Structure 1
């Protein structure tokens, strides 16, 4: 059966605006004006500007309350601009309904250069092998995120994770957000530096505004030394003082960021500016895994590998001394697996492990730096 342009438009509207039963209420919906995307150039697209965000939110809820929304779908106006489309950029949680408590934000593509997205994960804290001290701190954070009002000024707000790459810093943050079912906004610090003066500060404030609107939530800033470098090193990368100032404002709690926990990560804590480092109430080191921890990691990985491994986990744990958890998976086991596949072998044997180790050593001639 052939369908016309108007048929497609009608079908899309029905699929988007169809009411469904769900108990999930959206905490946040981010929209952008999309005009008339299914009617080509037949209708002139008006420019939509919103000066009063609260008024737009009330207007949106009045016509879309109860609608199921998911990222990438559309909502259609039926009041001031009939059939005008708004594209859904973000929903938390995804595929949930607009309710009385939903925060609805309209952004302009030019103004909103960075759309901070929630990172979803099915990891559990038990999936992280080792790093017991960090896990204990996560228990405190979990209690806080479950009931922010109860903690008041005793909240665990700013935590620094530091240690060698691949030791589980990001993995633990993902598992923490999943355990308590709160949004995690994971950003690379380098992405917070804009092209023009004021861009970086604006993006940091936007990030925390979003985290507050969807609180309780976690902001995870990876490679924080990229913006928090000590002043004696700043000449190497230019001045980012306005970015640092904005971050310090958010971390200091001058704005009430209740229900928001900031976790930052770095491989080099000694490079951080003292002004930023002093804001972290606790610094937690992520160490390289012990032999027993390596053995446990290897056992878990082997269970999911597409080829059987003939080398014992105990032997592999001995051979992988000095490797991080990521190295064990990506540099040792995955390289050995791929070598076995290339050689048309049915099992991963000692020769494939030997190949992976030699390959790893060639790329890691310099000894790893250990953290004191």
Structure 2
């Protein structure tokens, strides 16, 4: 058995994912973290840091920035410079910082639903106008950008920023170089900046292209948000980074980080990032292969035993975006069906905004035994629903 077959205990560690329905027979397959122990390189780095006995104020060192830039070079072939890196405690915090630093109250910001719910809140909570550019879903379940509508929206003078989800959460698209080039050309033409949330970049199953790497034009308007948190299952370390090639944008973001007193990195966060980026690549390769197996297994089993639910294996992320409209359930009933009948906690698609109704998001970064039990529970619940009709 691999380490991924034998998850660690979540008892008594205040796990957000596992404690929601603590003591109940409900599989937690919702919040986006893995059921696996962090990589040995991370655990070893943390142990060494704790062993020093000093956990005081910690600087964002040149070594830290080099680890981030080096990972980008090795993993994605992009020569990001260490001086472009700015630390922030989380990607959602980074997006909020970017909105405040690069737009003014009353400016408009474009997002592309169905998309990670905080995209909406970082716009509205900062007093900016929200503009929706919903993705187009083809008959085969593949999502595309609605470029015709987007161009009209970007032409509006009040639109100053687009928040791109790349790879896209929850639909699992990894945008191609051609799509990103087209997006960059449109944004450059209309003077619109791009905050690219690339937190799932390392979880792409084919090559991932950082937005800022595609052209000088793209680099000039790009603010990349990245983190080792999803990649190496260390979200609790509260570490993320913005990579900003444009010096003017970098200065604006740096000033906003200072205003918010957001530049303080924890001692363990520093150690975890170095351990992850400098030693976690082999672990990641094994984790991705294991998760891919889970996704393929679940998609195949649902096609066989619960064809009312459609699941396409994504191009990236450890998620599955389940089309449950074939069950014929209204939104509140759909959530209750999975929670009460299948006894699985998923993320309701409606929380991801327009285009999410009738869908559910499943986290497949679990043991194979959990994936098999989830498939069994869903099949039994669907069979019971059929019989009731």
TM range (shorter): under 0.3
Task: Select the structure with the greater relative contact order (CA < 8 A; seq sep ≥ 6).
Answer: 2
TM-score (norm 1): 0.22
TM-score (norm 2): 0.21
Please tell me whether Structure 1 or Structure 2 has the larger radius of gyration of its CA atoms: 1
